Amino acid sequence: MNSSQLLGITTFAYLFSAILYIAIFVFRAKKIGLFATALTVGAFLVNSAGIGMRWYESHQMGIGYAPLSNMYESLVFFAWAIALCYLGLELKYKNRVLGAFSMPFAALAMTMAGLKNPDIKPLIPALQSNWLIAHVITCFIGYAAFAVACGMGMMYLLKDRKTTENPNSLLASLPDLRLIDDIIHKTILFGFLWLSAGIITGAVWANSAWGTYWSWDPKETWSLITWFVYAATLHARFTRGWGGQRIAWLAIVGFFSVIFTYYGVNYLLSGLHSYGGG
């Protein structure tokens, strides 16, 4: 079994898991809940094994490196982090409907990875640093939390439509608005801490490679823009008491900024991170 096969299985398992969670929500098929969780945990383990296997394979090729260095590998890790974040949420809140709004992101990330070139390529000198590992891990845990926050934001807006309060309606199975609001807030806090750590590890790395911890390169600048957006969101909540729909919208807007930082910059703008494009 090689890493490509393991990660291929992961893609289908995440897709299936996302479908199951959506079925739990739409058809209120609570009976398949345990199966959905078991499948997700299994998929997560296969995903982990796939990353580990790829690491091992790179060593076999004599160019050993942590598989976190290009678009394919980062997408695989992104999916891994999203699944981890979601499983944490499920454990904490004991609510599987959250999965219908989280796991599709993991499935999407793996599907996007499937479109990338999965060849294991040796690292160019600029990437040969342990800061690479710290930088990618911190950034993507942050991004994953923001992905989940975005999903929760969508869930909030879906539930909070001013439709008739029918206790039998589909939306009644969604968690209480106050709880969703709290989950959005918590995941943003969590993501913000990791994003900050990601920007800082990137700065330390840049300083040890080029002697400049900050050079206003488009990737750096966009990560800062994202940081500003979430910082503003947190201030709006902490001190102006924003909540509900406005924070839900900000969670979605913030994630657009994340996606642009991650994806858009590589394809639309040029800069130091151009090697992240492959």
Partner 1 sequence: MKKNENMAWRFFASVRLALFALLILATTSIIGTLIPQKNPPEFYIDSFGPRTAQFFQMLDVPDMYNSWWFITLLILFSINLIVCTIDRLPNVWQMVVMNNLDTDPERLKKMPNSTVFHARGDAEPLTGIVTALLAKKGWKAQHEKKPSGTLLFSQKTAWSRLGVYAVHLSILLIFAGAIIGSLFGFKAGVMIPEGGVTETVYETGSEKPIPLGFSVQCDDFNLSFYADGATPKEFRSDLTVRDEAANNTFSRSIIVNDPMDYKGITFYQSSYEPMQGFNISITNKATNVRQNFQIPFGQKIHWPDTEIDFGVINQQVRSRMGDVASLKVWFSDGQDEPSVFWMDNNTVQAITTPTATYEFQASQVYATGLQVAKDPGVWTVYAGCTLMLIGLYVAFFLSHRRVWVYIERIENEDRCRVLVCGATSKNKIAFEKEFAALVECFTQDSTFQNA
Q: Which is nearer to partner 1, 48 or 95 (CB)?
A: 95
How near is the Cβ of 177 to partner 1 at its closest, in Å? Answer: 13
Q: Which is nearer to partner 1, 59 or 235 (CB)?
A: 235
Give residues in contact with partner 1 (CB under 8 A).
63, 121-122, 124-126, 128-129, 131, 182, 189-190, 192-193, 196-197, 200, 203-204, 207-214, 216, 218, 221-222, 224-225, 228-229, 231-232, 235-236, 238-240, 265, 269-270
The span from the CA of 50 to the CA of 47, in Å, is 5
Q: Which is nearer to partner 1, 129 or 245 (CB)?
A: 129
Q: Which is nearer to partner 1, 49 or 193 (CB)?
A: 193
Phi-psi region of 243 (alpha: psi -120 to 50; beta: other; left: phi over 0): beta
How near is the Cβ of 179 to partner 1 at its closest, in Å? Answer: 8
**Contact (Cβ atoms closer than 8 angstroms) between residue 101 and residue 95:** no
Q: Which is nearer to partner 1, 50 or 159 (CB)?
A: 159
List the structure tokens of 129: 């640093």
How near is the Cβ of 221 to partner 1 at its closest, in Å? Answer: 5
How near is the Cβ of 171 to partner 1 at its closest, in Å? Answer: 22
How near is the Cβ of 22 to partner 1 at its closest, in Å? Answer: 27
